[in-house]
Homo-oligomer: A and B are copies of this chain.
Amino acid sequence: MKALKFDGALKLVENEPVHKREGEALVQIICAGICNTDLEIVKGYAGFHGILGHEFVGRVVESDDAALAGRRVVGEINVGCNECSLCLKGDSRHCSRRTVLGIKDRDGAFAEFISLPIRNLVQVPESLDDDTAVFTEPLAAACQILEQVDINSSSSVAVIGDGKLAQMIIRVVAQTGCSPTVIGKHEHKLELARINGVRCFQVTKPADDVSSLIDDLEGQGLVDKPDIVIEASGSPTGLPLALGLVRPKGIIVLKSTHHAETALALAQVVVNEVAIVGSRCGRLSSAIDLLANGKIDISPLISARFRLEEGLMAFKKAAQSDSMKVLLQIGQ
């Protein structure tokens, strides 16, 4: 089968066929999305070699569970050992022996087929088209924030970033009834963020000079210090900015997973008693509910669509600073 594989370089390969493993289902991929994590992996920082891809919608073609055969599904990307105390408590996302689809020790979804445990699959309602369903996984990552931090209509929330994940987060946070403030670099991406009264501020100063950057944002009218700052810029300079913005005793939610080290003046975390909360994957069911209710329109966030055979071109497009989500159309 055809697949996009990274082995130090990204290549379109003709791979051996995937076989269904015990307890798993064979899924034919319909459509997959390129995420910033994929872009980080092809930079070589994350140490993964194999078929990339973890955002997908597909159709079950072979399964021990007959009810699943032929169903459209999305998948939880973390595959736990199913034996340790975390897995037994239902938290295989943090199992120390987990594999992760297209990220850690498990071939991913930029391929014609994958095999994934039946327990990882979630059926997609008929009402959701493929393009929308492929956003389930990244939207779930945004929904995870609401599982970790209390955000309601009276919360004062700022989101740093205007990229793919930030756009998901803005839409999820807006569902709580509060109007987040967005701080981003790109005017055309900020334009996409202007939903439901969201206020946008454009960063025009170098991000490594935090105090002059904050002066500039204050000059644009960003005066009140937010209760909660969600850092989803994908850049090492995002957290220092978040620390400068958040109110004393406020919360910073950290979503970016770049692999560069960040130099931090930790004294301000202590002196201002700030809490920094790391946040990764979320439950797919929350995201499917939001999408199925039609509460979130993701269609403006699709920048381009390529066939799997055009995968290298798709990655080039996804890496451009003006791109939002780039999809790979693989099957039907």
Which residues of A does B touch, CB under 8 Å? 86, 91, 94, 96, 148, 236, 239, 248-249, 254-259, 261-280
Given contacts A94-B248, A276-B275, whether A266 and B256 have CB atoms under 8 Å apart is: yes
Docked-complex contact B254 and A86, CB < 8 angstroms: no
- Contact across chains for A273 and B239 when beta carbons are under 8 A apart: no
| B248:A86 contact, CB within 8 angstroms | yes
> What would 29 A/B residue contacts be, using CB atoms closer than 8 Å?
A91-B248, A91-B249, A94-B249, A94-B272, A96-B248, A148-B273, A239-B266, A256-B270, A257-B267, A257-B271, A258-B266, A261-B263, A262-B264, A264-B264, A269-B278, A270-B278, A270-B279, A270-B280, A271-B278, A271-B280, A273-B277, A273-B278, A273-B279, A273-B280, A275-B275, A275-B276, A275-B277, A276-B276, A276-B277
A-B interface, 4 closest residue pairs, ranked by CB to CB distance from nearest: A94-B248, A269-B278, A276-B276, A270-B278
* Chain B residues positioned under 8 Å from A239 (CB to CB): 266
Contact of A267 among B248, B258, B275 (CB under 8 A): B258
| Nearest Cβ on chain B to A275's Cβ, whole angstroms | 5
B91, B249, B255, B269: which contacts A276 (Cβ < 8 A)? B269
* Count of identical protomers in the assembly: 2
Q: Are A270 and B255 in contact (CB under 8 A)?
A: yes
- In the complex, what distance in Å separates the CA atom of A243 from the CA atom of B48? 22
- The distance in angstroms between the C-alpha atoms of A275 and B274, with both chains bound, is 10
CB distance from A84 to the nearest CB of B (A): 11
Q: Are A270 and B257 in contact (CB under 8 A)?
A: yes
Give the distance to chain B from A36, nearest Cβ to Cβ, in Å. Answer: 12
Residues of B within 8 A of A277 (CB): 273, 275-276
Contact A262 B259 (CB under 8 A): no
Question: Of B259, B269, B278, which one neighbours A254 at CB under 8 angstroms?
Answer: B269
- Cα distance, A264 to B263, chains bound together (Å): 6
Measured CA separation A279–B276 after assembly (Å): 12
State in angstroms the CA–CA spacing of A256 and B265 once bound together: 11
Min CB gap A80→B, angstroms? 12
Whether B278 and A272, one on each chain, are in contact in the complex, defined by CB atoms closer than 8 angstroms, is yes
A279's nearest neighbour on chain B, judged by CB, is B273
